[in-house]
Chain A
Amino acid sequence: MAMTARQRAKVSLYIQAGIFVVAVAALILATDWKTVGNSVFNFGKIGPMFPGIILVGLKNTLIYTALAFVVGLSGGLLLALMKLSTFPLYRWIATGYIEFFRGVPALLVFIAFGYGVPLAFGVSWDVNIVVMVSLGMVASAYIAETLRAGLQAVPKGQMEAARSLGMPMWRAMVTIVIPQAFRIVLPPLTNEVILLTKDSSLIYVLGLTASQYELTKFGRDGISSLGAGLTPLLVAGAFYLVITIPLSLLARKFESRSARTKR
């Protein structure tokens, strides 16, 4: 007897699940667990990574990300406002900046700021400053586009109402439009922080001293000193999740909240 459309759909789902299970089983069977166990899941030898990976690696990753986010947010807001300006020069500068820094790899920006700028101006920068400026500048390009979209999503009537009450342009922006724009972009902005957290791993190119190691560099250092294969990197990776998963949950919470209040 022929199946109904609903039965066919159900069977199709069972087949898909079956294929998935078979594929996973094949991967598990094909894996050389002895070798992998020694070089990736060798948790017996990673004891010396603690508590350094938390007190140095995690701490520095958080600091670098926070510094870069502060610069990225203020720079991004400035760029977003410039991009929406009626004065063409501002728009051109903002567009050029955003296209450039979104277009080149963050790694190259780090090298430019870590080595190029000190050479060019004869200054030597603290690593915190280099990270703050270079990662912040990259972040501001991304955040600018997010904020621009948020500012444009605030209905025009809000600005008109604020101006009608006698508020000057800047006051209407600061008090009425920008707070609403931030509310709108809170979920994508949280995602920017997650990206920033991971991009902070690229500053290893600056040649950090041991106390400046962030998570990835700390993990790489462990590879050469502990003899546990790649296991230290796995541990470092897990600590990134400790930062990023709560942020993801936060973003989801913001999303559901804004969906509920339709604001």
Chain B
Amino acid sequence: MNDVVIPSRNHTGSVHAAGVSIKDLRKSYGSNEVLKGISLDVAPGEVVCLIGPSGSGKSTLLRCVNLLEQPNEGTIHVGGFEATDLDVDIDKMRRKVGMVFQQFNLFPHLNALRNCTVAQTKVLKRSQAEADNVAQANLDRVGLGHLADRFPDQLSGGQQQRVAIARALSMDPELMLFDEPTSALDPETVGDVLSVMRNLAKEGMTMLVVTHEMGFAREVADRVVFMDGGVVVEEGVAEHVISSPTQGRTKEFLKRVLDPTHIEIAE
């Protein structure tokens, strides 16, 4: 869509990207072990897509990185923080980690601009004027500067998700987590959200993306990680993993995703 015009990084300055280092991460719900010892490194500025069937643990892994889920074992380092250190200042760490949800989770009682300013003023203690400027710049960045005074229920799903991205960017994060950002969208609005994410990747943001958009993963991701049953089955350069997977489970999954008519039992 032509309202998505993303200026290069000069709006908020260059991105200061952080890396992620995950070692032997385990997470169970009761007796159900969802993550069975995951290790994953993401370099600063790298874009990694997590793919895999539902229930494979990829969303849980993502949510462990900013401690929305508490891992049982293993370590996670994010930038200068050790997330799994019991003494870590969670709130301080989360300011550096932007999160984008499948269901957007915009604040329905605040308009788009206030969605982007509320944490700036309350958490970062920025002045309202400064927060407004940052928010407006980030709404412009996702192509929605002209809708700043709209409330979430006056926006389409794709627009809401782009506001949610602007909201996260307004905190000047060093890492962005995306949890199936396009799965709840009408097909015709998916492209706008993906192009915002593509530009973010170009600007050098570290991104960890749980997605089913194989085209996006192939084009934008530096690396693709295929998970199944709580373990990393295969990982590597996006083009290689998607076009010529080596593991049986990866092949089976990709066949189903890339050619959905072959699915015998709908999920």
Using a CB–CB cutoff of 8 Å, the interface residues on chain A facing chain B are 155, 157-158, 160-168, 171, 175-176, 179-180, 183, 261-263
A157 to B103, Cβ gap below 8 A?
yes
B216 within 8 A of A: no
A161 to B101, Cβ gap below 8 A?
yes
B66 to A164, Cβ gap below 8 A?
yes
Considering only CB atoms, which chain B residue lies closest to A161 in the complex?
Answer: B105
| Known contacts A157-B101, A167-B91: A180-B108 contact under CB 8 Å | yes
B94 to A165, Cβ gap below 8 A?
yes
| Closest-CB distance, A256 to chain B (whole angstroms) | 16
Considering only CB atoms, which chain A residue lies closest to B67 in the complex?
Answer: A163
Chain A residues with CB under 8 A of B94: 163-166
Most central of B103, B108, B168 by chain A CB within 10 Å: B108
| Closest-CB distance, A180 to chain B (whole angstroms) | 6
A-B contact count (CB 8 A): 66
**Could you tell me the dominant secondary structure of chain A's interface residues?**
helix
Residues of chain B in range 219-265 having any CB-CB distance to chain A below 8 Å? none
| Known contacts A158-B107, A166-B171: A262-B123 contact under CB 8 Å | no
Enumerate 20 A-B pairs (CB-CB under 8 Å) in ascending A order: A155-B103, A157-B101, A158-B105, A158-B107, A160-B68, A160-B99, A161-B99, A161-B105, A161-B164, A162-B119, A163-B94, A164-B68, A164-B99, A165-B119, A165-B168, A166-B124, A171-B122, A180-B107, A180-B109, A263-B153
A183 to B101, Cβ gap below 8 A?
no
Considering only CB atoms, which chain B residue lies closest to A182 in the complex?
Answer: B109
| Known contacts A160-B68, A171-B123, A175-B118: A166-B95 contact under CB 8 Å | yes
The 4 A-B residue pairs whose C-beta atoms are closest, nearest first, are: A165-B119, A166-B95, A161-B105, A157-B105
Considering only CB atoms, which chain A residue lies closest to B101 in the complex?
Answer: A157
Chain A residues with CB under 8 A of B101: 157, 160-161
A166 to B103, Cβ gap below 8 A?
no
What size tier do the contact residues of chain B reach? 20 to 34
Using a CB–CB cutoff of 8 Å, the interface residues on chain B facing chain A are 66, 68, 91-92, 94-95, 97-99, 101, 103, 105-109, 118-119, 122-124, 153, 164, 167-168, 171
- Selected contact of A263 from candidates B91, B108, B164, B167, CB within 8 Å: B108
- Selected contact of B171 from candidates A155, A157, A165, A168, CB within 8 Å: A165
| Closest-CB distance, A112 to chain B (whole angstroms) | 40
- Complex CA distance for A162 and B68, rounded to whole angstroms: 11
Chain B residues with CB under 8 A of A162: 107, 119
| Known contacts A160-B68, A262-B153, A263-B153: A168-B91 contact under CB 8 Å | yes
Chain B residues with CB under 8 A of A262: 153
Chain A residues with CB under 8 A of B106: 161
Chain B residues with CB under 8 A of A179: 109
| Closest-CB distance, B126 to chain A (whole angstroms) | 12
Most central of B97, B105, B153, B168 by chain A CB within 10 Å: B105
| Closest-CB distance, A154 to chain B (whole angstroms) | 9
A166 to B119, Cβ gap below 8 A?
yes
- Complex CA distance for A7 and B108, rounded to whole angstroms: 48
Chain B residues with CB under 8 A of A180: 107-109
| Known contacts A158-B107, A176-B107, A263-B153: A166-B167 contact under CB 8 Å | no
A261 to B68, Cβ gap below 8 A?
no
| Known contacts A164-B99, A166-B119: A155-B153 contact under CB 8 Å | no
| Closest-CB distance, B2 to chain A (whole angstroms) | 29
Most central of B66, B91, B164, B167 by chain A CB within 10 Å: B91
Chain B residues with CB under 8 A of A263: 108-109, 153
| Closest-CB distance, B62 to chain A (whole angstroms) | 11
